[in-house]
């Protein structure tokens, strides 16, 4: 349809111009109609116009369209036989038409036709040299015009193609940017952490679904009918408007894990940890701050539940431990008690006392860490008492267990917690050393003067990939799982926490099938800690 309209437009413009000229000729020079070639030209133009309006040019080839300006040029040539009227100027119409839509080769074809018409239909009374000169001037003029229009048309088409490609590229980039923004929005909306971006004018420009749920907003950011209230503590005082996180973020304040309590529209309390992060802004834009609100209500509830369970369990352990210690004391008071049995009872009493201390430590949360880490402790005595606890199990499994090195190795720390370190390490050594193996505990001083304890075994060893991971809570290597040996995966994590609390270091060297060597180093001077 585009081609049809274009052909119609050009032909109707040309035919309208001829009609206007014909009316003027009829009024001013009616004798022109006596020339048969003039009438032939008019009839040719009329027939061409009717044909153009009748044919469906959308379905015809471009070559057939090219025939229309050729026919028009021929018709103008027939009309140029009239003397004293410059009908040759009308050749501008078909030449410009061809130059606009066809190549320079087609322009030369129609110029050749124009030249032939000038020679063939020109006024015969003129001198031949004048006719040739006229044909040359008209042909060169039309050639220059056609070339200029053709070059301009090609450039215009090239510019349109370039603009079209650029528009397509811009459209594609816009679509990609839109899809990327949608993906980012979906990711942010899937987070449980509430996020909201606010300008320094207090205007919210972005928020995610978690924030909308907490603060009762719809997807457009409009507040719903129900309202929420922010408090400084659980069932505390409501925050003043200027102290609310959103207002503080708008002022550009830096917040780091500050806790507030939110009472939502459904009557539920939420503990929120609030932080802020400045956001990059374009020059001239308002300063923007990202407000991050992490709902830690479930974590606080879980921690409180764990404390409650620990309190109940430790409280209930007191009675059986008291009974164990009481009966052991009664047995030890017997004078006819065999010496081996007395030693075993002493080990039982020592273990029960340690358990009782653990219960007391769990219940007593007010004792400061500084007090725990400032007591004099002899690592030799701790090692010997721990070995005495595991020696019966080691002998039963056919293992040798000995201690060597310094007779005393004093440091400052918490004897109870350090005993947990030795118990966990010796327990692992006994569990993972096969029958006939050897476990050795060596005590001494490092090159830097620190107290050094090494526990080495000839057990199954640890794979290199598992060495760093054994300190993770609840982690057990695949070899340990395949062995069927029971365990919780907490022992090494506890060991590292206690050693770190004493400002010590822990080094592990292990090879599969060859055993494990663990070296502990502790400072000799008292450890300074802030009171908890």
DSSP annotation of 217:
B
SS (H, E, C) 225-279: CCCCEEECCCCCCECCHHHCHHHHHHCCCCCCCEEEEEECCCCCEEEEEEEEEEE
DSSP 203: -
Q: Which residue has the higher pLDDT, 187 or 333?
A: 187
Distance CA 6, CA 163 (A): 22
pLDDT of residue 530: 44
- Give the Cα separation of 167 and 159 in Å (integer): 12
Tokens 């060596």 -> residue: 442
Cα angle: 438, vertex 442, 445; to 5 degrees: 160
Q: Where are the alpha helices (DSSP H) in 190-272?
A: 209-215, 245-250
pLDDT at position 393, please?
84
User: Across residues 356-375, what is the average pLDDT?
Assistant: 58
Q: Is 254 helix (H, G, I), strand (E, B) or coil?
A: coil
Cα 72 to the center of its chain, rounded Å: 66
Per-residue confidence band for 376, with pLDDT thresholds at 50, 70 and 90: confident
DSSP string covering 318-352: HHHHHHHHHHHHHHHT-TT--HHHHHHHHHHHHHH
Pair 274, 293: CB distance under 8 Å: yes
Report pLDDT digits (tens) over 466-505.
777 777 766 666 666 666 565 556 778 888 888 988 889 9
Residue 62 CB contacts under 8 Å (≥ 6 apart), including other chains = 102
For 409-444, how does the pLDDT look when each residue is reduced to its tens digit (9 = 90+)?
999 888 878 988 998 899 889 888 988 999 999 999
Contact 206, 196 (CB under 8 A): yes
62-79 vs 104-121: helix crossing angle, rounded to 10: 30
Instruction: Please report the pLDDT score of residue 81 as a whole number.
Output: 74
pTM of the model: 0.42
- What number of residues does the chain have? 532
Task: Please give the share of the chain, as a percent, with pLDDT higher than 70.
Answer: 84
Q: What is the DSSP string of 467-497?
A: HTGGGSTT---HHHHHHT----S-HHHHHHH
Report the chain's C-alpha Rg in angstroms. Answer: 50
The CA-to-CA distance between both ends of the chain, in Å, stands at 87
Between 28 and 81, where is the model more confident? 28
CA-nearest of 490, 386, 479, 469 to 432 is 479
Q: 369-522 maps to which CATH number? A: 3.30.565.10
Strand (E) or helix (H) holding 3? helix 2-28
HSE (CB half, 13 Å, CA atoms) of 91?
Answer: 29
Residue with tokens 């009974």: 323
What are the angstrom distances between the C-alpha of 277 and each of 162, 253, 257, 270? 43, 9, 12, 22
Q: Please report, for residues 374, 411, 501, the alpha-carbon distance to residue 450 in angstroms, rounded to integers and kept in the order given.
A: 16, 9, 16
For 78-106, the pLDDT digits (tens) are: 888 776 677 778 888 899 888 888 888 88
Per-residue confidence band for 123, with pLDDT thresholds at 50, 70 and 90: low
How far apart, in whole angstroms, are the C-alpha atoms of residue 175 and residue 169?
A: 10
Distance CA 118, CA 121 (A): 6
Q: Is the CB of residue 207 less than 8 Å from the CB of residue 245?
A: no
Query: Which is higher by pLDDT, 90 or 2?
Result: 90
Are the folds of 191-295 and 369-522 the same? no
Is residue 379 pLDDT above 90, yes or no? Answer: yes
Residue-wise pLDDT for 256-294, tens only, equals 888 899 888 777 889 999 999 998 765 556 788 999 999
Q: What is the DSSP letter of 440?
A: E
Percentage of the chain exceeding pLDDT 90: 16
Query: Which helix (H) or strand (E) is 199 found in, with range?
Result: strand 194-199
Greater confidence, 448 or 3? 448
Sign of the CA dihedral 295, 298, 299, 300?
Answer: positive
* Number of neighbouring beta carbons within 10 Å of residue 134: 17
Where are the domains positioned within the chain?
2-163, 191-295, 302-363, 369-522
CATH no. for 191-295: 3.30.450.20
370: confidence class by pLDDT, cuts 50, 70, 90: very low
Per the model's pLDDT, the better-predicted residue between 86 and 66 turns out to be 66
Average pLDDT, the chain: 82
pLDDT of 130-185, one tens digit each? 777 777 888 888 888 888 988 888 898 889 899 999 999 998 898 898 888 888 88
């Amino acid at each position: 349809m585009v081609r049809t309209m274009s052909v119609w437009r050009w032909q109707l413009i040309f035919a309208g111009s001829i009609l206007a000229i014909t009316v003027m000729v009829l009024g001013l020079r009616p004798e022109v109609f006596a020339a048969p070639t003039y009438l032939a030209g008019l009839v040719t133009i009329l027939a061409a116009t009717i044909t153009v309006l009748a044919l469906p040019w959308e379905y015809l080839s471009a070559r057939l369209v090219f025939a229309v300006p050729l026919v028009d040029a021929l018709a103008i040539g027939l009309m140029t036989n009239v003397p004293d009227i410059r009908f040759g100027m009308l050749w501008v119409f078909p030449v410009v038409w061809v130059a606009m839509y066809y190549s320079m080769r087609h322009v030369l074809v129609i110029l050749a036709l124009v030249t032939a018409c000038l020679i063939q239909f020109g006024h015969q009374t003129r001198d031949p040299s004048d006719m040739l000169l006229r044909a040359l001037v008209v042909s060169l003029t039309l050639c220059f015009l056609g070339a200029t229009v053709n070059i301009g048309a090609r450039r215009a088409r090239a510019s349109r193609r370039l603009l079209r490609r650029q528009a397509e590229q811009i459209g594609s980039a816009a679509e990609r940017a839109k899809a990327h923004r949608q993906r980012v929005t979906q990711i942010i909306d899937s987070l449980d952490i509430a996020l909201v971006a606010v300008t320094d004018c207090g205007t919210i420009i972005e928020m995610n679904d978690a924030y909308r749920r907490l603060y009762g907003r719809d997807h457009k950011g409009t507040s719903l009918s129900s309202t929420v209230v922010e408090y400084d503590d659980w069932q505390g005082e409501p925050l003043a408007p200027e102290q609310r996180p959103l207002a503080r973020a708008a002022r550009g304040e830096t917040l780091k894990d500050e806790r507030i309590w939110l009472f939502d529209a459904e009557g539920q309390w939420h503990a929120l940890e609030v932080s802020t992060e400045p956001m990059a802004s374009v020059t001239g834009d308002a300063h923007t701050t990202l407000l991050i609100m992490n709902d830690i209500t479930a974590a606080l509830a879980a921690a409180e539940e764990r404390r409650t369970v620990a309190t109940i369990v430790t409280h209930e352990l007191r009675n059986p431990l008291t009974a164990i210690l009481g009966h052991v004391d009664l047995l030890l008071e017997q004078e006819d008690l065999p010496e081996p049995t007395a030693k075993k009872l002493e080990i039982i009493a020592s273990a029960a006392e340690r358990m009782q201390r653990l219960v007391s430590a769990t219940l007593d949360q007010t004792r400061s860490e500084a007090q725990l880490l400032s007591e004099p402790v002899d690592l030799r005595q701790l090692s010997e008492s721990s070995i005495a606890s595991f020696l019966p199990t080691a002998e039963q499994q056919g293992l040798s267990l000995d201690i060597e090195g310094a007779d005393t190795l004093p440091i400052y720390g918490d004897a109870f917690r350090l005993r947990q370190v030795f118990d966990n390490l010796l327990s692992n050594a006994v569990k993972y050393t096969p029958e006939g193996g050897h476990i050795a505990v060596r005590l001494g001083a490092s090159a830097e003067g620190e107290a050094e304890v090494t526990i080495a075994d000839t057990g199954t060893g640890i794979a290199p990939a598992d060495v760093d991971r054994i300190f993770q809570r609840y982690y057990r290597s695949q070899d340990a799982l395949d062995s069927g040996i029971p365990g919780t995966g907490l022992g090494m994590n506890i060991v590292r926490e206690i050693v770190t609390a004493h400002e010590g270091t822990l080094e592990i060297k292990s090879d599969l099938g060859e055993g494990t060597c663990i070296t502990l180093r502790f400072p000799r001077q008292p450890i300074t800690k802030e009171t908890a």
